[in-house]
């Protein structure tokens, strides 16, 4: 029966059918034996997608139920949910109950399967630090964790230390300051805001340990070893959607359990020599900044505020003067208009690994005082409807292909989209194309560039005043000191955005725009000459910024979007995404 230590096979029963089951070094498979049947059922599960094995007849979800019998064992595997057009990206727990002809054989199977799992699961996490935001989304974080995630972690033999947060930035500070020895990863149960906390914590901690200053825009940041997992439970789960293909807690849990690893580019945002924030999806000025800022004034409206603000901002018909300098990426490697999609196992991303950390002295390139003459920087100026930098496609339910459909998750570049001032109908066409498959870059007033860095400045005479900035909030470890800790919906920059709006923008030190009354009604207020930056759904306190893409800086427990699963709508939560990914009009 036993061939060698890797192989094991015997006859087994599933229900009333008899099967020949085989375990080899890569697969566990079982094939129907009935000789009369023409088409015999055969199932083969790669060990990499094997979750666990239990003695007896066992159910895990929706509730754990165990029927202890001597001859049965139950295996749990990843099961892909299939729709009409193939994989949907949604994973469920596959469960098969096997019956043996005696307890000895049952015990042999359980032992062999557990040994095979241990052997092939070297990259799987054993110990995780989990942060639950009890107030995220529909406030179901705790329930989602207890009913869907914890039982699967237990089945897979993962031990989790759980922290239910009591205030904003607790997760970030915990990661920055506490002993993390023995943890293989950190997981958040919440939305994009919680993910951002983990992102800042993990990056900050790694740089601290490497003795690197995050405030130096020229420094080559140390890639982070600690993986980040996202269990979607927020009102916006765009990062999860973009890296897994769906926002489903069970799917994300299974990606964590099997130790999937998706590297992710991160964009650092600096003002002078201060780190302002990290972003993984959108850094947007003009329209996207205005929509976010405007929506903050209407929080009382709930999710409707995004649609309302989108319409209001569109009707206000604004454009902003600015100077954009960018460092183009190598056009031989990929292009934002090459009609490719970054899918699981993406060739462009995997080939980029070798060239991501060049040993060049690039400090002068990233200085905010650098001019076009230095290096390969390109400059352009004018009036823009919006200036957007995205490190991923930023697809979301309203924009299934995203802000930049061919952007890559981990190739060390971002896509810079410049939408120049145009007539309202032209801009509406641009916005509308995000919701269809029409090429949004095929418009005369739109430019897209694949870049490694971007610097934005105001035209001469409109610069931010340095003196006033001294008294402003200074970012430490990627966030603002002036945060209002514990505030629901926290995030330092969110509190800034409110302060900013109530103070008419004075604290940002904009020279020429003494009072910023933002939008009153579309045409009754004098148009401001500066907008604000929307950085993954948070308002930045500076206008003149330097963005730099750090290739594969962090790793998520994910594998990118599997082929055929890219355009599935959100499975839960609502359809708002705060102009983090794409507009709400
Ligand atoms: N216990 C807490 N109390 C208040 N705020 C918290 C708490 N825990 C985390 N936060 C903050 O709440 C913010 C939003 O959380 P999260 O992203 O999980 O939910 P969300 O519903 O998607 O949020 P939103 O749509 O308001 O951004 C995060 O920026 C986080 O810093």
Whether 378 contacts 558, CB under 8 Å: no
More confident residue, 39 or 453: 453
pLDDT band at 525 (very low <50, low <70, confident <90, very high): low
pLDDT band at 481 (very low <50, low <70, confident <90, very high): very low
**Atom number of ligand 1 nearest to Cα 164:** 1
pLDDT surpasses 50 at 374: no
Instruction: Find the 136 Cα to ligand 1 centroid distance in Å.
Output: 5
β-bridge mates for residue 270, sequence order: 275, 546
**Atom number of ligand 1 nearest to Cα 196:** 29
Instruction: Find the 109 Cα to ligand 1 centroid distance in Å.
Output: 45
pLDDT band at 261 (very low <50, low <70, confident <90, very high): very high
Whether 214 contacts 275, CB under 8 Å: yes
pLDDT surpasses 70 at 81: yes
For residues 250-255, average pLDDT: 98
Q: Which residue has its alpha carbon closest to ligand 1 atom 12?
A: 489
pLDDT surpasses 50 at 288: yes
Instruction: Find the 336 Cα to ligand 1 centroid distance in Å.
Output: 33
On average, the pLDDT of the chain sits at: 83
pLDDT surpasses 60 at 405: yes
Of 250-264, 448-462, 469-483, the one with minimum mean pLDDT is 469-483
Q: Which residue has its alpha carbon closest to ligand 1 atom 26?
A: 489
Prediction ipTM score:
0.97
pLDDT surpasses 50 at 439: yes
Ligand 1 pocket, Cβ-based, cut-off 6 angstroms: 133-137, 165-169, 190-194, 197, 234-236, 488-491
For residues 495-516, average pLDDT: 38
pLDDT tens for each residue of 376-395: 899 999 999 999 999 999 88
pLDDT band at 6 (very low <50, low <70, confident <90, very high): low
pLDDT of residue 504: 38
**Atom number of ligand 1 nearest to Cα 193:** 17
Report the alpha-carbon distance of residue 535 to residue 581 in Å, rounded. 10
Instruction: Find the 505 Cα to ligand 1 centroid distance in Å.
Output: 25
For residues 416-425, average pLDDT: 97
β-bridge mates for residue 150, sequence order: none
pLDDT of residue 399: 79
User: Which of 173, 184, 192, 260 is the catalytic position?
Assistant: 192
pLDDT of residue 494: 41
More confident residue, 165 or 367: 165
For residues 360-386, average pLDDT: 67
pLDDT of residue 136: 86
Instruction: Find the 170 Cα to ligand 1 centroid distance in Å.
Output: 11
User: Cα torsion at 495, 499, 501, 506 (round to 10°)?
Assistant: -130
Ligand 1 probe mutation, 193, 534, 539, most atoms within 8 A of CB: 193
> Residue 303's closest CA among 3, 11, 578?
578
pLDDT band at 301 (very low <50, low <70, confident <90, very high): confident
Which residues, other chains included, contact 326 with Cβ-Cβ below 8 Å and sequence gap of 6+? Answer: 377, 378, 416, 449, 451, 453, 454, 455
pLDDT of residue 387: 98
Ligand 1 probe mutation, 130, 132, 136, 576, most atoms within 8 A of CB: 136
CA distances (Å), origin 322, targets 229, 281, 421: 37, 22, 11
Q: Which residue has its alpha carbon closest to ligand 1 atom 19?
A: 136
Of 38-42, 186-190, 220-224, the one with minimum mean pLDDT is 38-42
For residues 181-202, average pLDDT: 96
Structurally, at CATH architecture level, domain 266-351+366-465+473-551 sits in Sandwich (2.60)
Of 67-76, 270-279, 299-308, the one with minimum mean pLDDT is 299-308
HSE toward the beta carbon, residue 25, CA cutoff 13 A: 4
Instruction: Find the 235 Cα to ligand 1 centroid distance in Å.
Output: 9
User: Cα torsion at 280, 281, 283, 284 (round to 10°)?
Assistant: 180
**Atom number of ligand 1 nearest to Cα 195:** 17
Ligand 1 probe mutation, 132, 163, 194, most atoms within 8 A of CB: 194
pLDDT surpasses 70 at 513: no
Instruction: Find the 186 Cα to ligand 1 centroid distance in Å.
Output: 17
Instruction: Find the 191 Cα to ligand 1 centroid distance in Å.
Output: 7
End-to-end CA distance of the chain: 65
Pick the CATH number of 8-120 from 3.40.50.970, 2.30.29.30, 3.30.70.380, 1.10.10.10: 2.30.29.30
pLDDT band at 300 (very low <50, low <70, confident <90, very high): confident
Report the alpha-carbon distance of residue 192 to residue 233 in Å, rounded. 9
**Six token digits for residue 284:** 């947007």
DSSP state of 439: -
pTM of the model: 0.85
Of 36-50, 217-231, 460-474, the one with minimum mean pLDDT is 460-474
Instruction: Find the 559 Cα to ligand 1 centroid distance in Å.
Output: 25
What is the full DSSP assignment across 335-394?
Answer: -TTS-----TT-HHHHHHGGGSS-----HHHH-TT--TTSTT-EEEEEEEEEEEEESS--
pLDDT tens for each residue of 112-154: 999 999 988 889 999 999 999 999 888 999 999 999 999 999 9
pLDDT surpasses 60 at 491: no
Q: Which residue has its alpha carbon closest to ligand 1 atom 2?
A: 167
**Atom number of ligand 1 nearest to Cα 578:** 25
Phi, psi at 103, each rounded to 5° = -70, -35
Ordered by start, the domain boundaries in the chain are 8-120, 266-351+366-465+473-551
**Atom number of ligand 1 nearest to Cα 537:** 27
Q: Which residue has its alpha carbon closest to ligand 1 atom 6?
A: 168
Does the active-site annotation cover 4? Answer: no
pLDDT of residue 235: 79
pLDDT of residue 460: 87
HSE toward the beta carbon, residue 539, CA cutoff 13 A: 26
pLDDT more than 90, % of the chain: 65
* Helices (H) then strands (E): counts for the chain: 14, 25
């Amino acid at each position: 029966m036993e061939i060698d230590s890797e192989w094991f096979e015997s006859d087994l029963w599933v229900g009333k059918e008899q099967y020949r089951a085989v375990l080899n070094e890569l697969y566990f498979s079982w094939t129907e034996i009935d000789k009369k049947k023409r088409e015999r059922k055969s199932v083969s599960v790669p060990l990499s997608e094997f979750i666990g094995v239990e003695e007896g007849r066992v159910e895990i979800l929706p509730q754990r139920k165990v029927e202890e019998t001597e001859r049965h064992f139950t295996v749990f595997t990843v099961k892909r949910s299939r729709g009409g057009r193939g994989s949907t990206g949604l994973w469920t727990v596959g469960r098969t109950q096997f019956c043996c002809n005696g307890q000895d054989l049952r015990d042999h199977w359980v032992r062999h399967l557990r040994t095979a799992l241990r052997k092939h699961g070297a990259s799987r996490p054993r110990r995780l630090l989990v942060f639950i935001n009890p107030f995220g989304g529909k406030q179901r974080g705790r329930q989602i964790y207890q009913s869907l995630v914890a039982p699967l972690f237990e089945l897979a033999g993962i031990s989790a230390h759980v922290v239910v947060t009591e205030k904003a930035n607790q997760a970030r500070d915990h990661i920055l300051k506490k002993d993390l020895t023995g943890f293989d990863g950190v997981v958040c149960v919440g939305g994009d805001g919680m993910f951002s906390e983990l992102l800042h914590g993990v990056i900050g901690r790694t740089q601290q340990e490497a003795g690197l200053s995050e405030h130096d825009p020229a420094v080559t940041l140390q890639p982070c070893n600690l993986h980040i997992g996202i269990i979607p439970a927020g009102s916006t789960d765009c990062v999860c959607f973009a890296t897994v293909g769906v926002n489903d807690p069970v799917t994300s849990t299974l990606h964590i359990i099997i130790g999937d690893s998706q590297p992710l580019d991160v964009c650092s945002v600096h003002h002078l020599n201060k780190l302002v924030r990290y972003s993984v999806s959108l850094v947007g000025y003009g329209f996207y900044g205005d929509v976010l800022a405007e929506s903050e004034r209407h929080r009382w409206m709930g999710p409707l505020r995004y649609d309302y603000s989108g319409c209001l901002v569109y009707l206000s018909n604004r454009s902003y003067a600015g100077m954009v300098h960018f460092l183009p990426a190598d056009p031989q490697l990929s292009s934002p208009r090459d009609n490719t999609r970054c899918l699981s196992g993406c060739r462009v991303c995997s080939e980029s690994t070798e060239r991501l950390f060049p040993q060049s002295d690039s400090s002068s390139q990233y200085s905010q005082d650098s001019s076009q003459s230095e290096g390969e920087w390109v400059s352009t100026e004018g009036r823009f409807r919006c200036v957007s930098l995205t490190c991923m496609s930023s697809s979301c339910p309203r924009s299934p292909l995203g802000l930049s459909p061919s952007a890559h998750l981990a190739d060390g570049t971002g896509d810079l989209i410049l939408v120049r001032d145009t007539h309202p109908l032209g801009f509406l066409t641009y916005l509308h194309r995000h919701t269809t498959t029409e090429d949004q870059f095929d418009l005369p007033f739109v430019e897209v560039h694949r870049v490694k860095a971007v610097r934005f400045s105001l035209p001469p005479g409109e610069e931010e005043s340095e003196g006033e900035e001294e008294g402003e909030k200074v970012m430490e470890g990627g966030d603002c000191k002036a945060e209002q800790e514990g505030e629901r919906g926290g995030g330092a920059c969110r509190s800034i955005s409110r302060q900013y709006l109530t103070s008419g923008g004075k604290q940002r030190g904009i020279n020429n725009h003494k009072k910023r009354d933002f939008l009153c009604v579309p045409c009754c207020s004098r148009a401001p000459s500066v907008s604000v930056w929307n950085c993954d759904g948070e308002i930045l306190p500076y206008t003149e910024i330097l963005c730099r893409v750090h290739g594969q800086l962090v790793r998520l427990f994910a594998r990118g979007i599997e082929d055929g699963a890219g355009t599935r709508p959100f499975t839960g939560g609502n359809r708002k995404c705060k102009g983090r990914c794409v507009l709400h009009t």
